[in-house]
Amino acid sequence: MITVLFACVHNAGRSQMAAALFNQIADPTRARAISAGTDPGTRVQPEVVHVMTEVGIDLTCSAPQRISDDMARQAQWLITMGCGDRCPFVPGACVEDWPLPDPNGRSIHEVRIIRDEISRRVAVLIDREAWR
């Protein structure tokens, strides 16, 4: 079982969307996703919750969490969301950076565009690594 850790600073937007979209389409016997942040927010951004319900994913009960040592040890992959020097380091993990804009404070239309780009990248990753 492969574990992919999606990480950003606040774990309140991009990484939450990425993990949820990943888990929606990946074969759960091959890979799973978790998400966390280096400085977690207090809640998932409301605009993110809204646009994710549009694609059948309910994030209303999701909560931002801090990256722990245990979480890092579980991960074979680390996908960061353009957090620069605030991104975590996971020893031994395959690393990709997806420099995507933070959805916080953006219009619903802009958050949909971010969601759709994350969805596209997740699908490419899953297909490339044969996790479907």
CATH number of the CATH domain containing 9: 3.40.50.2300
What's the burial of 112, exposed, middle or buried (CB within 10 Å: 0-12/13-18/19+)? middle
C-alpha distances in Å from residue 131, one per residue of 23, 76, 82: 10, 13, 24
Mean pLDDT of the 98-113 span: 96
What's the pLDDT score for residue 124?
A: 98
What's the pLDDT score for residue 6?
A: 96
pLDDT band at 121 (very low <50, low <70, confident <90, very high): very high
Distance CA 13, CA 8 (A): 8
- What predicted TM-score, i.e. pTM, was given to this entire model? 0.95
The three-point CA angle 50-56-62 to 5° equals 60
Q: Which domain holds residue 85?
A: 2-128
Examine the pLDDT at 89 and tell me if it is beyond 90.
no
Are 30 and 19 in contact by the 8 Å Cβ rule? The answer is no
Average pLDDT, the chain: 94
Mean pLDDT of the 78-103 span: 85
Residue range 47-86, pLDDT digits in tens:
999 999 999 999 999 999 999 988 888 999 999 998 766 6
**Better-predicted residue by pLDDT, 8 or 33:** 33
Number of domains in the chain: 1
What's the pLDDT score for residue 43?
A: 96
Furthest C-alpha separation in the chain: 38
The H or E element that residue 79 is part of is: strand 77-80
Examine the pLDDT at 90 and tell me if it is beyond 90.
no
